[in-house]
Chain A
Amino acid sequence: MIARIFASDGQYGPSLRHAAAVVAFVGPFLLLLMTFQYIPVLTMLRDSLYSYTLLNPDRRFFVGFENYITLFTDPDRRQSFAVTFGFATVVVAIIVPLAFLLAVYLNGRLPARALVRTIIFLPVVTSAVVIATMWTFLLDPGNGLVNAMLRAVGLARLEFLTSKSQALPSIVLLVVWQQLGFATVLFLSGLQAIPREVEDVARVDGASPAQIVWYVTLPLLARTTLFVVVIMTVFCLQVFAPALIMTGGGPEGTTNFIAYDIYQQAFSFQQPGLASAISVVFMLIVMLISVVQMRLLRTRWNY
């Protein structure tokens, strides 16, 4: 490298100018990345080995892997992991096929297509706090609009967020509604990038519309599908606002998502060491899931 930077006569050559350009362009982002990503991760790794409170962070005790042992033996923490990954699995399983079908529909010749796309995309650009507050009112067991509609058609009221069995499905519904537009737009852009000639050839060869979708469109959308699955999984694993605003992690921990649990442990329960340990384990699991998803959905076709 050094040899390439210096020209044979010992003067700075074009390689050095190139290196300087690289540093100038990449440096600031690398600095930001270090400051806001890698240094906090290293700090978190260190903190996960200590017991202390945020009220008096200077008074800390080294506890080794005690926070990790607590994490793996505490049923509440295990429930939090199960709730979060179960939630992500269900939401992704609903959103991906639904968004694909919606994208296929929107890809056709539809009047007012732009308007429909805007309507579908609107929840995505609305603040998560606004959405959570709005759905809290909608799902209120006594005065909510949804229950008013159920009563109007002669059905019994539902408890929604105050019920152990209905709180999580209610939040699944909210997140599907909120994120469907984003996944649809991603699929739509993927559909529009597929060369029309490929589908035309299949049509000339006698393929039915369903066969075209199954044998042509879907394989060529593999990259988009991978992106949608990874993005939606990541989003679901990050879910926080509904627990904070709508349920407080309850009833009985059924909506205690990991991100909310980390917040609770750190700030409400004053156990930032345990919160850091949860974050470390969570980070490793999410990385593993992403690698597995990328392997399983690895694309075999290019166009």
Chain B
Amino acid sequence: MRPSASSLLFATALVLGCASAQAQSSRSAPTADCPKGVVTLSLLKPLNNPPFPNMLASWQAANPCIKIDVSELPFGQLADKISVLAAAGTPPDIVVYDGPNTQTYAAAGMLLPLDSYLPPGFKDDVVPATLTEHSYQGKLYSPGTQQTTLAMFYNADMLEPLGIKPPTELGRAWTWAEAMDAFRKCQKEVNGDVTVWGLAPSRFGAGTPGFVYRDLIFLRTHGDPNAPKDSSAYKTYFAISPDGKTADGWLNTPEAIAGATFFRDMFNVAKITPKAGIPTSFQDGKACFTLDTSYFIAGLIRANVPFKWGVTPMPHVKTPIVHTGSLTFGVMAKSKFTEEAVKFVIDVSTGANAVAYANEQRILPVLKSVAPQMPELKNYPLSIFQEELNAWGHPRPPSPNFAQYDKVVSDALRDIAYGADPKTRLDQAVRTLQPILARQ
């Protein structure tokens, strides 16, 4: 009885802490080839994300005196794991984390600023969205690996018989009303059971609706960055105050509530997308449309799906917007092998490695100098993502407490998708968030 809750924290920390012991950095005795010894760096990363085995193998072949000991875990557990390792004082040397958390980790003194290690002119070469996301108080904490934005993939074989031809230029992008019309026309039902959904369920986060990266856009698109700065339309677009410390009046504006109501009605009134479902619905031909990143292109090609598919820009209401940000590399401030860890991070994020990675994975590069070396960026469908990044891209609401913002808002949007009252639920999220955002 007594151990139940009281020791839960301790037990969890113990279990996660023990897991961390699997990857400890070290330096071996000097050898003929490595006079300083072989340094083993510990690296923590989410599953199925960079650095991929071929990247590691080629880098280690060029740097035989440094070994990388990789620990992997599901993306959903990454932030909790990092916080436990930080509390235990046993962080890895290198961590692959979600870019918007840079401010959180930098404010806690966990990350090493990289300004003094980066080549001259590096900051001028980084796209502005990445520079903003990975900086805190004027210092850059990660060079960035890739950028992402969302667009809408569609099953062309399903749409063609219906005479639906989604636009491929940003200037002709659908509004959400037009997209809803297409969803309704394409959805198929047999005896009241949906056999083909208009819009596929979310593949992001825990596979439930609400993930901020994908679904906060439904609220922010009701805002307007060109409106007066004290207007609710302006605040809706940014969804958090400029200092990242206030959500009240930014997340629960009338426009945001209108966006949340539209979002709820997609699931509960129009019923064009399921509240839960199989993450491969689109690939399986069980959904006409899906919202995904440029990563998905490689996935569809690899899966060799038996239908024609296309990509159309993200729909909007008042202001087109897509979230930016992706996984990135950081060096932990407590690393005993800073020099080696920094070398790895900068090597894999810049130069020939960055070009090879961008072309291989069809990602959006963060370095302007890489873009011209990636011809595919100019070609459809990758061009849509690149154009969106430049024209509509905006970071997820930046804050030193972004991880908490992300969690609270994702939970709120999930509940709204399940049918909660948008105003009540957004107000509740703000009530939960406010003391967390405002803390020192």
A162 contacts B418, CB within 8 Å?
yes
A37 contacts B7, CB within 8 Å?
yes
Mark B177-199 against chain A: 1 for CB-CB distance below 8 A, else 0.
Answer: 00000000000000001100000
Q: Among residues 221 to 278 in chain A, which have CB atoms less than 8 Å away from a CB atom of chain B?
A: 230, 234, 237-238, 240, 248-252, 258-259, 262-264, 266-272, 275-276, 278
* Given A37-B7, A278-B5, A290-B1, A248 and B105 contact (CB-CB distance below 8 Å): no
Residue B277 CB within 8 A of the other chain: yes
* Given A250-B418, A259-B5, A263-B12, A56 and B84 contact (CB-CB distance below 8 Å): no
For the residues of B in contact with A, the DSSP-based class is helix
Residue B374 CB within 8 A of the other chain: no
Closest-CB distance, A127 to chain B (whole angstroms): 14
Number of interface residues of A (CB under 8 A): 58
User: Which of B408, B425, B435 has the most chain A CB atoms closer than 10 A to its own CB?
Assistant: B435
Mark A45-80 against chain B: 1 for CB-CB distance below 8 A, else 0.
Answer: 000000101111100010000000010000010000
For the residues of A in contact with B, the DSSP-based class is helix
B411 contacts A279, CB within 8 Å?
no
- Residue in B6, B407, B419 whose beta carbon sits within 8 Å of that of A44 in the complex: B6
Residue B83 CB within 8 A of the other chain: yes
A142 contacts B439, CB within 8 Å?
no
Smallest CB gap from A254: residue in B: B415
For A51, list chain B residues within 8 Å (CB).
439
B404 contacts A41, CB within 8 Å?
no
The complex places the Cα of A243 from the Cα of B70 at a distance, in Å, of 30
The complex places the Cα of A142 from the Cα of B432 at a distance, in Å, of 32
A76 contacts B432, CB within 8 Å?
yes
B418 contacts A266, CB within 8 Å?
no
Closest-CB distance, B282 to chain A (whole angstroms): 14
Mark B402-421 against chain A: 1 for CB-CB distance below 8 A, else 0.
Answer: 01100110010011001110
A283 contacts B5, CB within 8 Å?
yes
Closest-CB distance, A8 to chain B (whole angstroms): 43
The complex places the Cα of A142 from the Cα of B201 at a distance, in Å, of 11
Residue B274 CB within 8 A of the other chain: yes
Number of interface residues of B (CB under 8 A): 49
Q: Among residues 12 to 64 in chain A, which have CB atoms less than 8 Å away from a CB atom of chain B?
A: 36-37, 40-41, 43-44, 51, 53-57, 61
For A41, list chain B residues within 8 Å (CB).
2, 6-7
Closest-CB distance, A296 to chain B (whole angstroms): 16
Q: Among residues 332 to 370 in chain B, which have CB atoms less than 8 Å away from a CB atom of chain A?
A: none
Residue B119 CB within 8 A of the other chain: no
Closest-CB distance, B224 to chain A (whole angstroms): 30
Closest-CB distance, B67 to chain A (whole angstroms): 28
Residue B162 CB within 8 A of the other chain: no
The complex places the Cα of A248 from the Cα of B110 at a distance, in Å, of 28
B4 contacts A250, CB within 8 Å?
no
For A142, list chain B residues within 8 Å (CB).
194, 274, 276-278
Residue B108 CB within 8 A of the other chain: yes
Residue A143 CB within 8 A of the other chain: yes
Q: Among residues 91 to 128 in chain B, which have CB atoms less than 8 Å away from a CB atom of chain A?
A: 104-105, 108-110
B276 contacts A140, CB within 8 Å?
yes
For A268, list chain B residues within 8 Å (CB).
79-80, 403-404, 407
For B8, list chain A residues within 8 Å (CB).
240, 259, 262-263, 279
For A251, list chain B residues within 8 Å (CB).
414-415, 418-420
The complex places the Cα of A249 from the Cα of B275 at a distance, in Å, of 16
B12 contacts A283, CB within 8 Å?
no
* Given A249-B411, A251-B419, A270-B436, A151 and B5 contact (CB-CB distance below 8 Å): no
The complex places the Cα of A53 from the Cα of B10 at a distance, in Å, of 15
User: Which of B10, B110, B277, B432 has the most chain A CB atoms closer than 10 A to its own CB?
Assistant: B10
Residue B32 CB within 8 A of the other chain: no
The complex places the Cα of A176 from the Cα of B83 at a distance, in Å, of 35
A159 contacts B7, CB within 8 Å?
no
The complex places the Cα of A276 from the Cα of B5 at a distance, in Å, of 9
Smallest CB gap from A231: residue in B: B1
Smallest CB gap from B109: residue in A: A56
A252 contacts B277, CB within 8 Å?
no
For A217, list chain B residues within 8 Å (CB).
none
* Given A142-B194, A259-B4, A290-B1, A44 and B87 contact (CB-CB distance below 8 Å): no
Smallest CB gap from B417: residue in A: A162
User: Which of B2, B193, B439 has the most chain A CB atoms closer than 10 A to its own CB?
Assistant: B2
* Given A55-B87, A56-B108, A276 and B278 contact (CB-CB distance below 8 Å): no
* Given A279-B6, A286-B4, A252 and B420 contact (CB-CB distance below 8 Å): yes
Residue A163 CB within 8 A of the other chain: yes
Smallest CB gap from A57: residue in B: B87
Mark A179-214 against chain B: 1 for CB-CB distance below 8 A, else 0.
Answer: 000000000000000000000000000000000000
For A290, list chain B residues within 8 Å (CB).
1
A37 contacts B2, CB within 8 Å?
yes
For B83, list chain A residues within 8 Å (CB).
53-55, 267, 270
User: Which of B4, B275, B432 has the most chain A CB atoms closer than 10 A to its own CB?
Assistant: B4
Residue B29 CB within 8 A of the other chain: no
Residue B3 CB within 8 A of the other chain: yes
Please list the 8 inter-chain residue pairs (A to B) with the smallest Cβ-Cβ separation, ordered nearest first. A55-B108, A54-B87, A56-B108, A40-B10, A162-B275, A251-B418, A238-B4, A282-B5
A interface residue numbers (CB < 8 A to B):
36-37, 40-41, 43-44, 51, 53-57, 61, 70, 76, 140-143, 151, 157, 159, 161-164, 230, 234, 237-238, 240, 248-252, 258-259, 262-264, 266-272, 275-276, 278-280, 282-283, 286-287, 290
Ordered by A's residue number, 16 sampled pairs between the chains whose C-beta atoms are within 8 Å are A40-B6, A40-B7, A51-B439, A55-B86, A140-B276, A143-B278, A238-B5, A248-B208, A248-B411, A251-B414, A251-B420, A268-B403, A269-B408, A276-B9, A282-B4, A286-B4
